[in-house]
Structures are given as structure tokens and as C-alpha cells.
């Protein structure tokens, strides 16, 4: 079982990450964008993944890692059950989500400079 404190340690170890309150839930953001929230009473973490990454992580065990059951789930938001998920898998998911929010987006203006 992974504790709430362990989730905090993993997330806050990622450069530029800050914790703040997001509608009563501890949330983590980098580059001013949320990549995870902790659902304390439910003992789960929502990690914002791409739909492709979501399917890869969910393939491990859909009872432990699964899409959030609403429109957010269709966009890649994924629940990880802290009582069952392996620490290394959650750390990989948090890192993947953090990389997505901290990656510089290539704009059309920047693309034109390459041509």
C-alpha cells in the first residue's frame, strides 16, 4: 500500500512541482498545469495522462488503474488505487504526467522557423 505522504514525496521530487488545494483535494502542478490530485478519503490518486498512456497503464490491472468514470476519463484522467498499485508504477505515471505538462509545446510560429 502506498501512503498519501509517499504520493506527495514522489510528486514533489519532480522539478518545479508545487502542491496546492484544488477544490478540497491536494493537487500537484508544474508549469502552472495540474498533473495529479489526491483523493484522500478514497485512497486514490488521479493522474492526468494521455489516452494512449492511460490504456498502457490500465492494461496492468483495470481494477487498480482505470479511467475516471466521466468525460475526464475519456481525456486520459486515470485513477490509481493506492491500496493496490505498485510504487514504481505510480512513480512512472506521475513522471509521465509531469513530463506532459512541462514539455514545451511547438507552436506554428516556431515550426515555421525550422523551414
pLDDT along the chain (115 residues), means of 10: 96 97 96 96 97 96 96 96 97 97 66 50
| pLDDT score for 105 | 61
Domains of the chain: 4-114 (3.90.1150.30)
β-strand partners of 67: 78
The reported pLDDT for the residue numbered 102 is: 94
Distance CA 108, CA 115 (A): 11
| Strand pairing class (18-22; 33-39) | unpaired
- Residue for cell digits 521530487? 13
How many Å apart are CA 15 and CA 18, to the nearest integer? Answer: 9
Picking from 52, 40, 49, the residue whose alpha carbon sits closest to that of residue 7 is: 40
Q: Whole-prediction pTM value?
A: 0.88
Amino acid at each position: 500500500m502506498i501512503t498519501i505522504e509517499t504520493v506527495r514525496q514522489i510528486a514533489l521530487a519532480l522539478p518545479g512541482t508545487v502542491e496546492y488545494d484544488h477544490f478540497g483535494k491536494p493537487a500537484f502542478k508544474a508549469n502552472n498545469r495540474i498533473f495529479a490530485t489526491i483523493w484522500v478519503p478514497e485512497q486514490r490518486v488521479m493522474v492526468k495522462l494521455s489516452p494512449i498512456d492511460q490504456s498502457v497503464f490500465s492494461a496492468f490491472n483495470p481494477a487498480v488503474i482505470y479511467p475516471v468514470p466521466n468525460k475526464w476519463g475519456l481525456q486520459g484522467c486515470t485513477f490509481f488505487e493506492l491500496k493496490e498499485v505498485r510504487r514504481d508504477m505510480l512513480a512512472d505515471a506521475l513522471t509521465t504526467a509531469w513530463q506532459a505538462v512541462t514539455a514545451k509545446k511547438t507552436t506554428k510560429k516556431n515550426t515555421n522557423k525550422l523551414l
